[in-house]
Structure 1
Amino acid sequence: MTAISRNRLCLAAFAVVLLVCCFLLLSRRHGGSRHLVAGLFNRRWLSSANVDTDPDDLDWPPRPPPDLMQGGSALVLVHIQKTGGSSLNRQFVRAGVRGLPCRCRRGRKRCLCLNSADTDWLFSRGSVGWRCGLHASLAALQACVPNWHRFRPGVRLHYMTVLRRPVDRFFSEWRHVRRGATWQAARRFCDGKPMDPQPELCYRGDDWHGVGLAEFAGCATNPAINRQSRMLANLTGRECLGGEEMLAGALANLRRMIFVGLTEYQVLNQYQLTRGLGLLFNRLFWQHDETVASQLNTSRADLAIAESATSLDARLYAAAERLFFHRTRRLLIGDAIAARADPGLAAAIAGLDTAGLRAVAPRMAAAAGVVLRRLGARGVSAAERRRVRQKVKRKLIQSQ
């Protein structure tokens, strides 16, 4: 063997030893080689193609994806009316996500949410305001957001939303309008631009104060009818007219979203964001079920009216529920902290369909809550709970 060959062999051996030492050092910091591999998996940005991948172990402190922290990606919230989007906004920008800061000023509704590259990591009402219009639909956001001046060229935009049981959401919007509130500034989109002219309003004057449920649901141009499907549709061609085409577009877009939460499962929403996307919130999400809709004494006739007005949304929600529980189950089955909190959970949920998972959702939420608290999320104070309950009572009085 020549001297040159011996030198090359020595250099190769040295490189191997160095790599092994580095791996062992990192492995020690992350709690073992298995945890290191799992940690590397989690810190990848989870696109719609791999969001359901089942990691072998999830017992590590989650961190935001580097791509999100460095300006290569951004989250965009499709904020549908009366689904709890304002609460999610507050969790992002006020309570905070570790590693992704937002600077908030007292008395200001918007917070500055910049990453290490000084670009926005979050595009939502809480961070930039209604830059694309009041409660902009997915179609409106897709036409507008890429032009945002605080994004890098070629930024990857990941859309997310929260859906609510359609009848409850419809009742909540009806009560909102009944007490005199409106979203008159919200524009309806078609083929990538605002409709011209906009659909005729269902009322004359400044608002629709005191409207009854039958009148509210009976106006054909009322945007509350199947609102969730319309907000997530492409709104091109025949989709603009509503119906099956609109629903098909919404269903396709739903499956492509990086996160689809459900208002009724706040703890599991947070768990998906934390374990699936590496977003560790400082505070626990609160499941507040004492909403305006839950306090209504609805008759069978009222329920039938609301169901008729939300028939497409009901099918959209059913699809969202299947997707939601499928993703949650895959994460829980691989979570070592959840396994220690509830040793029989993984086996109990492994073969369940959507109805079965819905039935054991409280058990899943209990295990997820243990995980989130173990990772450092703080609970909601009693004062905050009282404040929200008082707000609901005021709204009920105003909508009588």
Structure 2
Amino acid sequence: MNVEEESSEMLLSEGLLKRGRSRWLNKRYVFFVILCTCLLGILWLSSSGNESSSSPFTPHLNILPTPPNVIDFESTQRDNFIFHFNGSDVMIFLHIQKTGGTTFGKHLVQDINLESPCSCFKNNYSSRKRPKKRRKKKLKCNCFRPGGSNKTWLFSRYSTGWKCGLHADWTELTACVDPYLSKTEGPGTRRYFYITFLREPVSRYLSEFRHVQRGATWKDSKHTCNGRRATSIEIPPCYKPPEENWEDVSLRDFMDCSSNLAVNRMTRMLADLTLVNCYDKLSMSFRERDTILFESAKRNLEIMTFFGLTEEQIASQYLFQKIFNLNFKVNFTQYQRVQGDSTLEELSPEVLSRIEQLNHLDIKLYAYAKELMMKRYRAFKKQNEEDNYSESDKDPEDGDY
């Protein structure tokens, strides 16, 4: 073999070796990329289960400050907590439509066992817009502090009236109540205790549908946010002029209206709408907006001193009494059938599925509310059992005899 042939063989061998090494390196690189992709996928799937931290849209809601002077649930669990009727404490009832709030609101003004109970009466009321309508009596109560004061301890429909707007939401109440009371009762440092009721979302939605079908509009609601009311462009009416209401609306039309505020009502009314630029739906994606609304509503629900569930009247009453150390003179009634249930039974699976899709935020929020409420209920029950462990139940060897 001459020198040229030997050189050619050496070059060929080196080329094959380099090519083999290159293929081996490429395989390692591909394997590494696949491994990293799998690991990232696993991390994403595991983090997606944690709704409060998985979304890139959540604006660090857990570090947002609690609204001024708002007393959260955790604060009531500290030693020696008491609601000061004689002081500057105020309960604020956030009344969400079709959640049993009318019944609970009457319990607040008529049934709490107090030394100085609310003074209630019924006054005549007639609609200005429909003066020929039969006059009916509306419940009105003065829930003043003891000692002849004209200052109120309860901010609600039946005590103060809708001073922050008809069915004012979290955004409206937190911006309105303190300035209103400072104006009417004088300046001062008050403690605010927010309370509300929630209801199973599909039943609540259908109950609102039936109510609107009978002519309800809530057109006097202000929908105030960041100092201004929502425009008709931001919330277009679902019925067109000259119609004054949506009476006799079909369920299909009720579902088809994209600006229908019945959709995810509980989430929206409990969220801080300033976080999503109020009712302007064009400033961010729907996904981003939904995520922020849900996380905000969830956080505010945790902050609330008390919330009850329409489907859990007994547990709701128990929690209210334990949290505020107050007692009702009557037992709450758990109705087996409420408005909306009959409509629910008539729905096809397709329609029911669509209602659930429309109200997906409320469904998630209600599931979380049930879990949180039962957690608090069990904690109070456990504490109550410990408190009721009397001296006579103890073994004499404990040394307390």
- CA drift of 1:69 comes to 1.2
CA distances 1:164-197 after superposition (whole Å, capped 9, x unpaired):
1111100100111112221111122332432234
Where does residue 289 of structure 1 map in the other structure? 336
CA distance in 1, matches of 2:318, 2:387: 11
Where does residue 166 of structure 2 map in the other structure? 134
Where does residue 154 of structure 1 map in the other structure? 189
- CA drift of 1:324 comes to 0.6
Partner amino acid, structure 1, of 2:91:
L
CA distances 1:132-157 after superposition (whole Å, capped 9, x unpaired):
11000111011110022237611111
Find out whether 1:77 has 2:126 as its counterpart. no
Find out whether 1:267 has 2:292 as its counterpart. no
Asked whether the equivalents of residues 98 and 282 of structure 1 are also in contact (C-alpha less than 8 Å), the reply is no
Where does residue 120 of structure 1 map in the other structure? 152
Secondary structure of the structure 2 residue equivalent to 1:83: coil
Greater Cα shift, 323-332 or 149-158: 149-158
Find out whether 1:174 has 2:204 as its counterpart. no
Gaps of 5+ in 2: 1-69, 124-137, 282-288, 390-401
Greater Cα shift, 254-263 or 183-192: 183-192
CA distances 1:281-322 after superposition (whole Å, capped 9, x unpaired):
111111113212122222212211210121011111112112
Q: TM-score, length-normalised on structure 2?
A: 0.67
CA distance in 1, matches of 2:192, 2:356: 34
- CA drift of 1:68 comes to 2.4
Asked whether the equivalents of residues 306 and 320 of structure 2 are also in contact (C-alpha less than 8 Å), the reply is yes
Q: TM-score, length-normalised on structure 1?
A: 0.67
Gaps of 5+ in 1: 1-44, 56-63, 341-400
- CA drift of 1:97 comes to 3.3
Percent of residue pairs identical: 34
| 1:151/1:290 CA distance change after superposition, 3 Å | farther
Across the aligned residues of Structure 1 and Structure 2, the Cα RMSD in angstroms comes to 2.4
Secondary structure of the structure 1 residue equivalent to 2:92: strand
Greater Cα shift, 143-152 or 210-219: 143-152
Partner amino acid, structure 2, of 1:150:
E
- CA drift of 1:208 comes to 0.9
CA distance in 2, matches of 1:49, 1:94: 28
Query: Which residue, 369, 377, 380 being the options, matches 1:331?
Result: 380
Where does residue 244 of structure 2 map in the other structure? 206
Asked whether the equivalents of residues 112 and 326 of structure 2 are also in contact (C-alpha less than 8 Å), the reply is no
Partner amino acid, structure 2, of 1:206:
E
Q: Please identify the structure whose Cα radius of gyration is greater.
A: 2
Greater Cα shift, 120-129 or 203-212: 203-212
- CA drift of 1:76 comes to 0.1
CA distances 1:51-91 after superposition (whole Å, capped 9, x unpaired):
456x9xxxxxxxx9654211321100000000011001110
Find out whether 1:250 has 2:297 as its counterpart. yes
Partner amino acid, structure 2, of 1:214:
R
CA distance in 1, matches of 2:336, 2:277: 34
Secondary structure of the structure 1 residue equivalent to 2:73: coil
CA distance in 2, matches of 1:167, 1:231: 16
Greater Cα shift, 67-76 or 129-138: 67-76
| 1:106/1:236 CA distance change after superposition, 3 Å | closer
CA distance in 2, matches of 1:128, 1:47: 22
